[in-house]
Amino acid sequence: MPAYSHKIELRLAELLDDQGAIREDGVRRLVDMVASSMRVAEDKGVEEVLPFATSAVREAANGEEVLKRVERRPGGAAGALRRRRGPADLSGSPPLVRLVGGRLLLLDIGGGSLEIACGVDEQPDAAVSLPLGAGRLTAGWLPGDPPTADSVRALRRHVRAQIAARSATWPRSACPTMSSVPPRPSSSWPGSPARPGRPTARTRSAG
Amino acid sequence: MPRLAAMTTAQRAILPGVSEGRARQLLAGALVADGAMDLFGVRELDICPWALREGVILRRLDQMEGVS
């Protein structure tokens, strides 16, 4: 259990311009968020800050410039945001760390990217990051509320082409026996009701 | 999936476990999950509440143990 949690949703992947750069309002939000978070950390007596940037920043056309602006802020996390995400890191999956036997396929659907990794312990045998985050795709492919059937179909085709290009060459030795998805919408992910009698052991836990 | 695709953001937000902030992204996320499961031949998923942040913390804890 965390002693304290402070979270601000930026959804940067939804704030990209035509060139794939984070728009000015998004950059301002990010800079302000880092500054206010550093203040919160001070207030709570935090000894060490471990900043990291997800693909929404890492893969943005103006990512470098954005990071510089974050670092320029006094009290900003100098240099630290450069410890960027990826390739997908299985240590982010606690079930895997404690899994005994059996391979695990990790699917992490974020706002900016889809991370796919597979292995038996913390070091993945195979890992890939695709620009298929839910926020990025929603902003780029699904205008309208609800979106048109055509746009849904087009996005479905795009997603599957991107994944198939990787899954076709995925090492067979790294085939999954189970998998994990940590999206925000939690346990009610459509199509994945808890079912008893799973074939493989799993550990979820502990925290 | 067709049902989800026909829903508005407001309707998706009412689904159990879906936050208002994520409701708009739900369909795209579902299309990715569905495609990945299908193409990797995965029939079931476990939902993991931990993600990158926890991974960064775990790695840091490992390093600290290595030092001491």
Q: Please report whether residue A197 resides in a domain.
A: no
Q: Please report whether residue A5 resides in a domain.
A: no
- Note the ipTM here: 0.86
The pLDDT of residue A93 is above 90:
no
User: CA of A201, closest CA in chain B: separation in Å?
Assistant: 11
The string of pLDDT tens digits covering residues A24-83 is 999 999 989 988 888 898 898 888 888 878 778 888 899 889 888 888 766 555 444 544
Which of A34-38, A99-103, A105-109, B1-5 shows the lowest per-residue confidence on average (mean pLDDT)? A99-103
Structure-model confidence comparison of residues A12 and A55, the more confident one? A12
Residue A50 to residue B56, Cβ atoms within 8 A = yes
Average pLDDT value for residue range B40-68: 75
Contact present, B37 and A161 (Cβ < 8 Å): no
For the domain that residue A181 is a member of, what is the CATH number? 3.30.420.150
> Which pLDDT score is estimated for A78?
47
Which residues in chain B touch residue A186, judged by CB atoms under 8 angstroms apart? 17, 47, 49
With pLDDT > 90 as the criterion, what percentage of chain B qualifies? 41
Which residues in chain A touch residue B15, judged by CB atoms under 8 angstroms apart? 188
Enclosing domain of residue A110: 90-187
Mutate to test the interface with A, among B48, B53, B58 (most CBs of A within 10 A): B48
Burial of B2 (0-12, 13-18, 19+ CB in 10 A): exposed
Judge if A95 and A63 occupy the same domain. Answer: no
The pLDDT of residue A190 is above 50:
no
Q: How far apart are CA A102 and CA A120, in angstroms?
A: 7
Judge if A120 and A57 occupy the same domain. Answer: no
Which residues in chain A touch residue B19, judged by CB atoms under 8 angstroms apart? 184-185
Judge if A23 and A69 occupy the same domain. Answer: yes
Which residues in chain B touch residue A147, judged by CB atoms under 8 angstroms apart? 5, 27
Contact present, B52 and A88 (Cβ < 8 Å): no
Choose among B8, B28, B60: nearest Cβ to A137: B28
> pLDDT band at residue A116, thresholds of 50, 70 and 90?
confident
Judge if A98 and A183 occupy the same domain. Answer: yes
**Assigned token pair, B51:** 């993600």
Average pLDDT value for residue range B13-42: 91
Average pLDDT value for residue range A190-207: 36
For the domain that residue A66 is a member of, what is the CATH number? 3.30.420.40
Judge if A95 and A134 occupy the same domain. Answer: yes
Q: How far apart are CA A43 and CA A23, in angstroms?
A: 30
The DSSP line for B48-64 is -S--HHHHHHHHHHHHH
> Which pLDDT score is estimated for A177?
45
Q: Please report whether residue A16 resides in a domain.
A: yes
The pLDDT of residue A127 is above 50:
yes
Count of domains observed in chain A: 2
User: Which chain A residue's Cα is nearest to B29?
Assistant: A134
